[in-house]
Amino acid sequence: MEIKLAKTAGFCYGVRRAVDMAQTLADSAKPSAMLGSIIHNDHVIDRLRSQGMAVCASIDELPPRCAVLLRSHGEPKAVHDALAAGGWEVVDAACPNVTRIHTLVREAEAEGRIPLIVGDPGHPEVQAIAGWCAHGVVVDGLSGLEDWLFGDPARRELPLTMVSQTTGQSVAWKSCVEFAKKVCTNVKIFDTICNATYARQEEAMALAEECDAMLVIGDPKSSNTARLAELCRARHVKVVCIPGASELDKTQFTGLAKVGITAGASTPGWIIKEVYDIMSDENNFEIEESFAEMLEKSIKTLHTGEKVTGIVTGLTPTEVQVDLGTKHACYIPLNELTDDPNAKVEDLVKVNDEIECFVVRVNDQEGVVTLSKKRLDSVKSWDDIEAAEEDHSILEGVITEENKGGIVASVRGVRVFIPASQSGLPRGADLSTMLKQKVRLRITEVNRSRRRVVGSIRAVEREERDAKAAEVWESIEEGKVYEGVVKSLVSYGAFVDIGGVDGMVHISELTWARIKHPSEVVNVGDAVTVYVLSFDKEKRKISLGMKDRSQDPWTLFNEKYAVGSVLTAKVVKLMTFGAFAEIVPGVDGLIHISQLSDHRVEKPEDVVKEGQEVTVMITAIDQENKKISLSIRALLEEAQADREAEAAERAAEPDEVVATSDADATTVAPAFAEEAEAPADAE
């Protein structure tokens, strides 16, 4: 028969902590007593009692002025108040996870919310939790939650804060959470099931799936032991529950091929060993061989700065919970796990991972230890940093702060200073824009004794740029098209980065239109498409073009205009000999100074101004040299000739006689006087 033992069987850190505190108190010279059993395991309680630790069922049974040990399940606030009023010295062995729930329900009620506690109403832990609020409601699982919420429809509208017994069944708790989210309109939910409980239950269910029977070791009064048995039975395997080796009957497993063993959180290792040895008929199971050795391991003292190894037992968005095998609840805050502000805990570690870290802070009074993986990684990373300086390798980091004269990056937990000149930004740029950015850098200086490291982002960018430039020069050819970025502007053009190499786009190659400055077309940082006009590899110069060659303005001009065409043009430039006017974008014509007016002009600006639109006639087109002559004078003279011709035509016509009476008819033009008098003479 194969025997398989669950890795998480036995004491959790909360129980270890309670037993440790009990042992320390029993070893002291002062009178002491337990107020109820500190854990649900008669074997442990009997051993402590044999060492002189009294067990009292109520405050009335406590000896006067003795040290009172409170159980790991916690006690109601009323008990704490009564002990303080009676002058007893209190040693609180409550599990830190339980104490946290006390705080949650107390704060919830202070906020005007109703604490909703999911758990066994008769369990001492649940009774203690309810004792830290005045109006808490205890429901036993999903059916109890449904009964309470539907008992009065108004309850579904109440502000609720829902917590769970630490040893609750994970499946049942999830059902309650899903139901509450659907039904309640104002509920805050805190998953307070102990991560060690989660791990133990998940492992027990997985073990039950592959075994023919499950042997569950634990005291019958233990809630988490009972739940382990219940979960295993749900996997349709034979389940045998025993408190210890003396109750074991091996014949119950006769004929089975594989038997799994698990144990509740209150079961000490020496009991598990006894059962395992009997089941396997061997004595090679390495576990605590005595109660004293078990205690020695559980009371291991942690010191700040110590390197420790533990098992990840739980994850939240802000921390990692770790079991170090001691009495403490151990946590790694997110900011002590990584420097990456965008990192997610679940992407960095997994439950059941083994993890090395540093002890940052120990709070023995609360049983909490703060750990740091980042700081341990920092120590390990110094070798990597020094090696990177020697072999000139590139490292990645995150900018964490702006410093006088530069910025600081965290590289594998090591603080690296980057001078402003090596940041890769232009001089005078705002360095704060780089905060929280991932960067690639090269280590330029390491002084381990002074814990000083200097790095350069610019060096990496320069090397990468040089590599890209080499690729460009290797494949460059006239007419090749590149996607580039405008790096700078000057009066005569724009410099464009085409991948590690800057090329010049002359102002005349930016657009067909006449412009005074490149900023009329592009700005620094613009993404542009350019093509190679010419290049000189020896001088490392590239001439680029940007205007569309497929739309030749001269062709467009010829399609639309000819000599004699009259059009409206825009004066774009004044010279001493005349003015240039734009006919179509990219094609200008010259209005010679002699053609600006029908009279003598001293200076072109006396007649026209830049930007002015004028009506001109095309008087000549030089197709070979692409030159166009324009004239305003030709239009003026043509207009004058038209006016003179019209006047001459009018002068050649007889004057019209207009008379309304005989008296009026005597007033006629001299040219027609004889004709007017002729009829009279004829008579």
Which residues are annotated as catalytic? Answer: 125
| Contact between residue 526 and residue 485 where contact means Cβ atoms under 8 Å apart | yes
DSSP annotation string for 76-129: -HHHHHHHHHHTPEEEE---HHHHHHHHHHHHHHHTTPEEEEES-TTSHHHHHH
State how far the Cα of 105 lies from the Cα of 160, in Å rounded to an integer.
10
CA distances from 68 to 20, 46, 80, 84 (A): 14, 17, 11, 11
How do beta strands 541-545 and 502-506 pair? parallel
Amino acid at 154: A
Q: Greatest CA span in the chain, whole angstroms? A: 175
With CA atoms as reference, report the closest residue to 422 among 461, 456, 464.
456
State the distance between the two ends of the chain, measured CA to CA, in whole angstroms: 166
State how far the Cα of 175 lies from the Cα of 162, in Å rounded to an integer.
13
With CA atoms as reference, report the closest residue to 493 among 526, 519, 531.
519
Name beta bridge partners: 242.
Answer: 217
With CA atoms as reference, report the closest residue to 6 among 227, 263, 246.
263
Residue spans of alpha helices (H) in 476-604: 553-560
The values of phi and psi at residue 553, to 5°, are -60, -30
Residue spans of alpha helices (H) in 596-632: none
Residue 88 in tokens: 């007893």
The H-or-E segment that residue 529 falls in is strand 527-536
Q: Long-range contact list for 537-544, CB < 8 A, 24+ apart?
A: 537/473, 537/476, 540/473, 540/501, 541/504, 542/476, 542/498, 542/501, 542/502, 542/503, 542/504, 543/503, 543/504, 543/506, 543/509, 544/482, 544/484, 544/496, 544/498, 544/503, 544/504, 544/505, 544/509
State the number of CA atoms in the 13 A half-sphere of 361 facing the CB: 9
In the block, residue with structure tokens 């070791």: 217
With CA atoms as reference, report the closest residue to 610 among 518, 515, 508, 521.
515
With CA atoms as reference, report the closest residue to 17 among 302, 263, 299.
299
Residue 222 in tokens: 């233990």
| CB neighbour list of residue 412: distance below 8 Å, 6 or more residues apart | 377, 378, 380, 381, 384, 385, 395, 397
Phi-psi region of 499 (alpha: psi -120 to 50; beta: other; left: phi over 0): left
Q: Long-range contact list for 456-463, CB < 8 A, 24+ apart?
A: 456/418, 456/419, 456/422, 457/418, 457/422, 457/423, 457/424, 458/421, 458/422, 458/423, 458/424, 459/422, 460/394, 461/424
| Contact between residue 226 and residue 273 where contact means Cβ atoms under 8 Å apart | no
| Contact between residue 587 and residue 557 where contact means Cβ atoms under 8 Å apart | yes
DSSP 8-state symbol, 323: E
State how far the Cα of 648 lies from the Cα of 654, in Å rounded to an integer.
12
| Contact between residue 608 and residue 614 where contact means Cβ atoms under 8 Å apart | yes
